[in-house]
Structure 1
Amino acid sequence: MKLRIIISVLLLAFLASCSSSRRTTQKKRKPGVVVNEPKPKKLPSVKQIQHVRKLEKGNKKLNRHTLKYIREYAPIAVLEMIEYKIPASITLAQGILESGNGRSQLALKSKNHFGIKCHRGWKGERVYHDDDEKGECFRKYRYVQTSYKDHSKFLSGRKRYASLFKLRKTDYKGWARGLKKAGYATDKKYPKKLIKIIQDYKLYEFDKLKKRDMARFVKDEKKKPKKEPKLKKQIPDYYQVKKGDTLYSISKKFNISVALIKEMNGLKSNTLSIGQRLLVK
């Protein structure tokens, strides 16, 4: 009888220590400090709107969210290329792939378009997401441009990527394969995915641009009278679940994947309730 009591006490003490250990681990999750990020300036044109229009005319099946991403962030990628010598096509393709066209939970809530983790020495704001391991620490930004700048500094400031900067800016295939070889991604198909995005959306055209081209584009834009773009039917940001709706039917309705709907809305299962509002854009 005494032996059973002793065993029970020891077991309770062990469980209590485990619970305490878990609580201690959670307490280590610090939010970080708010970094004073410079407010983004108006970006010069890189003819990204004309680029997208040509793509739309040539292939109606291209992903509209990817096209929107190119229109919005191509100028940042080109500016980063001019300063850091990283091909704009690579930066754009990585942003498109890793942020789900800027629509992943990490991109929407933290402006982190490249999945850059906290790493040692990061003192800025942070968020926690499940990735290779559960509850990993990721950097949080105020502006997307800061995320792009951090991506450039991340690649240019580490020795393992040094060999990539010996490649030509137009060698996007060499860059894509070199990133995987240097350990940037664990996905074996990572280079193929980047190359496909670059080729499908002709992102290599941005690699040809130089600083003087951007200045010329700005002058051209000032000369031409601006035309009001035709307004397309807007898809609402949120969708209210109706009777008979499933995640699959909603994904088809808005041309996005079930996985992305779940990620954007923090869903753990496929269960929906009538009247529930889902972010779909």
Structure 2
Amino acid sequence: MIKKIVLLFTVIVLASCSSSKPAIATTKKAAVHQTRTAAAKKPVYSKPTAKYPSTNNTTEVIQSTSKTVVTSDLINNYILQFKDIAIGNMKTYGIPASIILAQGILESGAGRGDLALEANNHFGIKCHKDWLGESVRHDDDSAQECFRKYPEAAESYRDHALFLVGKKRYEALFTLEKDDYKAWAKGLRAAGYATDPKYPDKLVSYIERYNLHQYDCQVTGRNYVPINTSAPARSSSSVANSDPKINMNSYDPNSYEVQKGDTLYSISKKFNLLVDDLKRKNNLTDNAISIGQRLKVK
């Protein structure tokens, strides 16, 4: 009897061990399968790309009355801010708007130079004997020279025009064609406006890189042909159709940079404007715009 009980117990134990092994194997296989499935379903993340591609925002150093580091975006925004004043001064005083803007960029470091920030002096004009307004001291050709100070930048632009008109040594400039910016650049240097022998080349470089001659043509009514097609300029036809993008301009939220596919109508709809209002804000006489051109929208 005892042998039968022992035998029965042995059989039960063996049966129990035999039944447990497949269960363990099944559990391992399931775990492995589950791990592999999870790994297969795990999303693979790639490096995100920018929604809006960056523009070619180059950096340069402007050396005038101070050393200033600027970007092409800063220069473009400077032009946008003061082009209307330059056009007005060309109409009133006969100085090419392109020359006015190029001098402003160079002399003020696109509005970021010490004199521009401290005294609203955008043309490096010194006090001279006839100056009765406020002044500041600044190191230039000599230590602590006297420079004119203005309540606002627009006054500096006006005084620049009066300065050229009122000085006898600049008389020869006004015998030149109003929109001959190369002759004006050389004439300013010859008349003693600047001592830098490369001054004319620097002015011409800004005019041609940023298509400033277009503003001369707006006054004279002559056809304008862009020299630098990547810079803001008006063309003879509107931009070809494509998917327009909102400009991500971090410097001037009140302006918009024309993208491929834009028209005045599409831009006016983006900013809830009438086309006529958009044209008036930007002194446009027709519907022609070009890629890279900056428009006032507010």
TM range (shorter): 0.5 to 0.7
SS in 2 for 1:67: helix
1:211 Cα deviation after fit: 9.0
1:206 Cα deviation after fit: 0.4
C-alpha distance 65-133 of structure 1, shift in aligned 2 (>3 A): same
1:186 Cα deviation after fit: 0.3
1:71 Cα deviation after fit: 0.6
Q: Aligned to 2:181, which of 172, 175, 178?
A: 172
Q: Does 1:200 align with 2:183?
A: no
Between the aligned partners of 1:212 and 1:187, the Cα distance in structure 2 is 33
Q: Which residue of 2 aligns with 1:156?
A: 165
Q: Which residue of 2 aligns with 1:82?
A: 91
Which has the larger displacement, 91-100 or 59-68? 59-68
- Cα RMSD (Å) of the superposition? 2.5
Q: Is the 8 A contact 1:69 1:102 kept in 2?
A: yes
Q: Which runs of 5+ in 2 are unaligned?
A: 1-53, 59-70, 223-245, 253-298
Q: Is the 8 A contact 1:94 1:114 kept in 2?
A: yes
Instruction: Answer 1 or 2: higher relative contact order, Cα 8 Å, separation at least 6.
Output: 1
Q: Please, what TM-score do these two structures have when normalized by structure 2?
A: 0.52
Q: Is the 8 A contact 1:99 1:115 kept in 2?
A: yes
Q: For the pair shown, which has the larger CA radius of gyration, 1 or 2?
A: 2
Q: Which amino acid aligns with 1:100?
A: G
1:99 Cα deviation after fit: 0.2
C-alpha distance 230-169 of structure 1, shift in aligned 2 (>3 A): same
SS in 2 for 1:137: strand
SS in 1 for 2:146: strand
Q: Does 1:146 align with 2:165?
A: no
Percent identity at matched positions? 51
1:232 Cα deviation after fit: 3.7
Q: Which runs of 5+ in 1 are unaligned?
A: 1-55, 214-228, 236-281
1:141 Cα deviation after fit: 0.5
Q: Does 1:121 align with 2:130?
A: yes
> Number of residue pairs matched?
165
Stretches of 4+ aligned residues off by more than 2 angstroms: 59-62, 210-213, 229-235
1:210 Cα deviation after fit: 2.8
Q: Which amino acid aligns with 1:177?
A: K
Between the aligned partners of 1:141 and 1:177, the Cα distance in structure 2 is 28
Between the aligned partners of 1:231 and 1:127, the Cα distance in structure 2 is 37
Matches within 5 A, 1:35-114: 61=58, 63-114=72-123
SS in 1 for 2:196: coil
Q: Please, what TM-score do these two structures have when normalized by structure 1?
A: 0.55
Between the aligned partners of 2:201 and 2:220, the Cα distance in structure 1 is 29
